[in-house]
Chains A and B, each alone.
Chain A
Amino acid sequence: MKKIGKFLSSMPFAITLLVLLAAACAFSSTVSQGQAYEYYAAQYGERTAGLILALHLDDAFHSWWFIGLSVFLCLNLLCCNLIRLPGLLKRVRTFAKPDGTTASNATAEAEGTGDPHRLFAALHMPSVRESENGQLYATGNRAGFWGAWVCHLGILLLILGFALGQITMKQYTVYALPGQTKGMDDSGLQVTVDDLQILRAESGAVQQYTAELTVLDPVNHTEEKGTTGVNAPANLYGYKFFQNSVGWGADVRVLKNGQELQKEGLCVGEFFAISDKPELVIYFPAFYPDYSGEPKQSDPSLPVKDPAYLYQVYYQGQILGMNVLKAGEELTIDEYTVLFENPRNYTLLAVKRDVFTWLVLLGGLVTLAGLVMAFWLQPRAVCAVKEGENWHVFGRCQKGGVLFREEFLKAAAETGFTPCKSSDIEGDDA
């Protein structure tokens, strides 16, 4: 058991895991994610496609092996932090004691008749203590001992928050033309897009999409209203509504023998069936806001100049025809007349409830704090011992030995001390 704990918390295991994780991420990024078998077969051939699916490389970041690696990393971090905690506490305590630093474990030492208080000041260590035997002593940056520990804790919180979020998160995609109401799957809520405003710069480029929403709870007969824009989500019923993207849509009218039969809003990519002849279906694959312009684009951010609607007609699942209708043009199928009008943008909303996002953010901030502590708070201790007429001064830095030694010896020289010997420059941080 102890052996397993030791292995799980060991640094070689940590490095192996990190290398494997980096390699897994790098490799997976080269394989297009979330595609069907046919896509991979066309790209790489059937055998490789089979392998990709068997190894879950099509959804690598949710695969058993990726999650497994991450779980091991967490175990590794947890064991490492737990096992090292008592030793760390002891080290911090020892470091604070005057006899924790001796001439033999010092990073640099000097002697002379200078004033040790000036040396402490030059090293920015103002709070000097005096021990019972007259030794002067100061420590600095002791919080730095905790840097790696705090950083590891932050990473653990971050991964935990991410994992809990992935498991418990509710996510929906809703797209609707202004005026349309759509259901939000199993949430029981309904979303109405009351309005979609597009703010343009003078050049015509879109600066902001703003959608006015009403979310309805049909069971409790309550509603909440809000506005969502890009980079400014709305918060309604505990869900966040993100203005994710926009696309084209239009109203489609169907007349039967000249009498209006049906009128609906239809987004590009949608089908609709004629109400009294459901085997007759109209598909709306694309909309061109400026059909006479070159090249013909269906970009949803372009202003409407010369609208044209691409349609396909299906009868009992068989395609009957496909063509483009310009504004005012009609499509006639037997007694039915179909016309498209009032082209406008629909909004695509990403709706999300993830109650663990704060944990991820906290983890990130703790990691950041840990990094600052580990890198910029390097624990240091400096002692001065009276030996006859001379002061023997020595200092220890937990890390960054070479740089500390230089700094110490420079300060010592400036305050009337001369270096003793070439000091051990290895920090004892292994």
Chain B
Amino acid sequence: MRVLSKRTRRVAEMLEKGAAADLSTLKARPVPRPSRWIATVVVAVLIAMLFHGLVTNSAFGWGTVGQYFFSPLILSGVRLTVILTVVSMAAGIAIGILVAVMRMSRNPLMANASRLYIWFFRGTPLLVQLIFWYNIGALYPKLSVGIPFGPSFVSVSANHVLTALVAALIGLSLNEGAYMAEIVRAGILSVDAGQTEAARATGMHHRLIMRRIVLPQAMRVVIPPTGNQVITMLKSTSLCSVLAIAELLYTAEIIYSRNFETIPLLIVASLWYLLMTTVLTIGQMYLERHFGRGQTTMLSLMERNPW
């Protein structure tokens, strides 16, 4: 009590004297943070070591990396990787929307069929699925078009139709569809029921409401995880190398199996993957901005940083 009153008196004295003191700025000594300095030094040293290694360690073979970076074989691999990604992703999104709508159907058979699909394709490894599709001929040697349980009109050999590339596209698309279904469903559920109601009250019919009101608003929720999925898909196409499909990783493997420059060629492949994912990330940012219009946070962001 006495200590406190002494201090109070001192403050009062200071305030009296301090009529002349400058109160317009608030200068104070910052709290010393030695641990922050130590951490900074440690990380700086690690980064220096990393770059030193990159430059001095000849095993990286930067010359070889440069030599093969634009080689026709690698470029053809890049092209096939892009094709695999784009086609599987497009098919995966289409399947995803369909399965999501089925999942929300009032018909229990529809909803459960979609649940079963998601359960199976999310629950088994993609690599296993790819090998499975590649060997599907062993299970169904013939593919036919006809009446279910009845006669067939056209029949072809499975091995003839299901080439490695087709098997890869089917495998990647069906796997992607299961993930996209859940993403699309979350997006649709995120739209307030009042929106559908208001749209119905203005005489819009079901499909128009989906297209004009619900899906555009769902996109805001759907795009960030979908961006993730595209990047994952781009990298997952490298699994197709086990089916001897000449995508980016497989072309790198072909080259280093001949010249034994394993590390430089893996670096070539990695740099291409990084380049492509970077482009995708930038594209995603623009998409998010487009579909975020009307959102308060998005509007203020755009005003601050009209990039």
Chains A and B belong together in one complex: no
Spell out B's residues near A (CB within 8 Å).
none
Spell out A's residues near B (CB within 8 Å).
none
